[in-house]
Amino acid sequence: MRHSLFAIVSACALLSACSTAPKEVAASATEPIAATSKYAKSSVMVETDIQRQDRMIKSLSDKSIFFDFDNYSIKTQYESVIKKDYEFLKSAPKVAVALQGNADERGSTEYNLALGQKRAEVVKHELKLLGVPEDKLEAVSYGEEKPRATCHEEKCWSENRRVDLVFLRQP
Amino acid sequence: MKMQSFFLACAACFGLSITSAHAQLRVEITGAGANRLPIAVADFAGDRTITQGLTSVIRTDLDGSGMFRLIDGAGTLSDNTNPPFADLKQRGADVVAGGTTMASSNGRFETRVRLSDVIKQNTLDMQAYVHTGAQLRATAHRIADAIYEKLTGEPGVFSTRIAYVVKSTGRFELQIADADGANAQPALASREPIISPAWSPDGSKLAYVSFEAKKPIIYIHDLATAKRHVAANFKGSNSAPAWAPDGKRLAVVLTKEGGSQLFLVNADGSGVKRLASSSGIDTEPRFSPDGQFIYFTSDRGGSPQIYRIATTGGTVERITFDGSYNVTARPSPDGKSLAYIARNNGRFQLALMDLATKQTQILTDSSKDESPSFAPNGRMILYATEIGGRGVLAAVSSDGRVKQKLSVQAADVREPAWGPLVK
């Protein structure tokens, strides 16, 4: 499972046996939330709230923000998507979000990583402007490494120039 | 060891492993150098099961370098008999290599090689190598290196290694192979991407970026012990490691302060220091061989171009001006030229710039070139490209004349990095 693997990796990162480097990890200190969350059982929150959150998360996670080639400005049609993300985050104070930027396969691996990062950061900036606290937001990039569509033409490339929102429960 | 077992436990839970099927790289060579020296590599005297393997690898190495033209039909020639100079001259050879492999103590072998000038009819070089039966390829590469250096005045790179990433469905493997693609061994396997491997100057470690913790983090991996540590794991993305020539620090790209920006960090992860600032993207740093400058990609001028900055900071100088996409700068080992990827009419191609004259040559006719990496003698440039929708590695001589292709069956190969000379 994608999410449970992440949780284990997080635990590992916390053990610190894997590294001697400085710790400044935000996302790793939080637990990701699956749509049908097993964490719900151990949570102190009321179950109905969890269910509502899970439903919202599933619905919001499906709504990526797409970009033009070699570009990182948000198109107006995605302003309402970001507004909905903000409203949910405001209603769920213990939920943080990882903004995962992506790029299409053309060009340099590392430049595409930076491009994905820039895309994630402009979405983060929008959420900050709306009022989401900085510590609930982490912008990271997958660059061209995690294509959603794998063909080598524009119909796939446009699918891959995007920012995904991955919601995470904070302790 | 406690630390060791901890690491293994972590490796297990990261979904990493160190075993795998060894995908063999297949090498194809096309083109030829301008002034190739005609050389005959005779069959060495001694046990045929040993010497045939040796001479076959020596010939393939010399031929693939593009610096030599192999002359056939020299027959068997030991190290202590005079070569048939008249016959060799008639065949067109300028140089001949002969040798003898004998059984030595403890099941080992001794191979003696003599290199002779056919025209002057004298001996150029005599070398002896003690090796095991399992070290045949490595010994052949060392013999080819010695011949190459004697005849060109530059070190051979046949004993060096390359690192690259093999991507198959749901699996990424960082592999290390001999420069000819043989003996591929995995250094790291993961379900998440691995990119940007970079050899430490002494060849003992690889820095790379792994996404195993669902975000890019820079690790330094000691190849002899398979132990590794985190070099940079800050909020946001951590990527593009580049070693300083002294191996003590790295230039990296961090986003902890917003934006992809250049930082310097000690190899143990301490002493993080900002190097340059821009409001856009700065990435792909690479030290000049003298350690004075860092070349990098930036979109500060509106499109991605190559710039450089002194390692001590200060003014930024733009290097590329033609076209709207020039990325991934890689200074040559002598510091005189710069390999990079240029976009021309929608094609991404390997280009080489003479830094003194700013003259640029496109070295390839492919369209999806990435990640150039110089051989440590500067003669060849290894890079990733795509053929038939699959990622392959290719190499081209820095004069564009000789081309090699290295591919693995049913997998994408990418992110190549040519290791340093073996000391």
Chain A residues near residue B15 by CB distance under 8 angstroms:
5
Interface test with A, best of B171, B174, B191, B237 (most A CBs within 10 A): B237
Q: Summarize pLDDT for A85-117 with one digit per residue, the tens.
A: 999 999 999 999 999 999 999 999 999 999 999
> What per-residue confidence (pLDDT) applies to B187?
96
Interface of A with B in 7-66 (CB under 8 A): 8-13, 15, 17-28
* Contact yes or no for B252/B265 (Cβ under 8 A): yes
Token pair of B352, please? 């080489």
Query: Higher confidence at residue A171 or residue B219?
Result: B219
What is the pLDDT averaged over residues B339-350? 96
Q: Summarize pLDDT for A126-142 with one digit per residue, the tens.
A: 999 999 999 999 999 99
- Cβ distance of A111 and B232 shorter than 8 Å: no
Which of A9, A110, A141 lies at the smallest CB-CB distance from B213? A9
Q: CA angle B101-B105-B110, nearest 5°?
A: 20
Chain A residues near residue B216 by CB distance under 8 angstroms:
113, 140-143
Interface test with A, best of B10, B16, B227 (most A CBs within 10 A): B10
- Cβ distance of A21 and B253 shorter than 8 Å: no
Q: How far is B261 from chain A (nearest CA, A)?
A: 9
As beta bridge partners, residue B31 has B402
Which of A5, A138, A146 lies at the smallest CB-CB distance from B236? A138
Q: What's the rounded Cα separation, in Å, for the pair A14 and A28?
A: 8
Which of A21, A22, A108 lies at the smallest CB-CB distance from B341? A108
Q: State phi, psi for B48 to the nearest 5 degrees.
A: -60, -35
pLDDT(B387) > 70 = yes
Long-range contacts of residues B345-353, Cβ cutoff 8 Å, at least 24 apart: B348/A106, B348/A107, B350/B381, B350/B383, B350/B396, B351/B326, B352/B381, B352/B398, B352/B400, B353/B319, B353/B320
Q: What's the rounded Cα separation, in Å, for the pair B335 and B337?
A: 6
CA contacts within 13 A on the Cβ side of A95: 23
As beta bridge partners, residue B238 has B254
- CATH C-level class of A40-169: alpha beta
Q: Are strands A137-143 and A95-102 parallel, antiparallel or unpaired?
A: parallel
Q: What's the rounded Cα separation, in Å, for the pair B148 and B157?
A: 9
Token pair of B275, please? 């190097």
Buried b (16+ CB within 10 A) or exposed e, B313-331: eeebeebbeeeebbbbbbb
Q: Summarize pLDDT for B267-289 with one digit per residue, the tens.
A: 999 999 999 999 999 999 999 99
- Cβ distance of B214 and A146 shorter than 8 Å: no
Q: CA angle A143-A109-B391, nearest 5°?
A: 115
Which of A6, A107, A113 lies at the smallest CB-CB distance from B237? A113
Secondary structure percentages of chain B, helix, strand, coil, to 5: 15, 45, 40
* Contact yes or no for A104/B348 (Cβ under 8 A): no
Q: What's the rounded Cα separation, in Å, for the pair B123 and B114?
A: 7
Q: Which residues contact B165 (CB under 8 A, 6 or more apart)?
A: B172, B173, B174, B175, B194, B195, B197, B413, B414, B415
- Look at residues A148, A171, A158 and name the one whose alpha carbon lies nearest to residue A68: A158
Chain centroid to Cα A134, Å, comes to 14
> What per-residue confidence (pLDDT) applies to B164?
96
At B367, the amino acid letter reads S
* Contact yes or no for A11/A4 (Cβ under 8 A): no
- Cβ distance of A24 and B214 shorter than 8 Å: no
Q: What's the rounded Cα separation, in Å, for the pair A138 and B237?
A: 9
- Cβ distance of B13 and A8 shorter than 8 Å: yes
Place A1 in a pLDDT band, splitting at 50, 70 and 90: very low
Q: Summarize pLDDT for B348-370 with one digit per residue, the tens.
A: 999 999 999 999 999 999 999 99
What is the pLDDT averaged over residues A34-59? 65
* Contact yes or no for B17/B226 (Cβ under 8 A): no
Which strands, in side-by-side order, build the sheet including B261-266? Answer: B238-243, B249-254, B261-266, B273-274
Instruction: Find the largest Cα–Cα distance for chain A.
Output: 48
- Cβ distance of B327 and A152 shorter than 8 Å: no
Q: Summarize pLDDT for B53-103 with one digit per residue, the tens.
A: 999 999 999 998 889 999 998 999 999 999 999 999 999 999 999 999 999
pLDDT(B28) > 70 = no
Q: What's the rounded Cα separation, in Å, for the pair B40 and B124?
A: 14
User: What percentage of chain B carries pLDDT values higher than 90?
Assistant: 84
What is the pLDDT averaged over residues B323-340? 97
Query: Higher confidence at residue A13 or residue B369?
Result: B369
Token pair of B385, please? 């490209």
> What per-residue confidence (pLDDT) applies to B34?
66
Q: State phi, psi for A168 to the nearest 5 degrees.
A: -135, 135
Q: How far is B233 from chain A (nearest CA, A)?
A: 7
DSSP string, B56-108: HHHHHHHHHTTSEEE-----B--TTS---HHHHHHHT-SEEEEEEEEE-GGG-
Cα-Cα-Cα-Cα dihedral of B72, B74, B77, B80, to 10°? -110
Tell me the domain boundaries of chain A: 40-169
Q: What's the rounded Cα separation, in Å, for the pair B220 and B232?
A: 9
> What per-residue confidence (pLDDT) applies to B32?
64
Q: What's the rounded Cα separation, in Å, for the pair B283 and B312?
A: 17
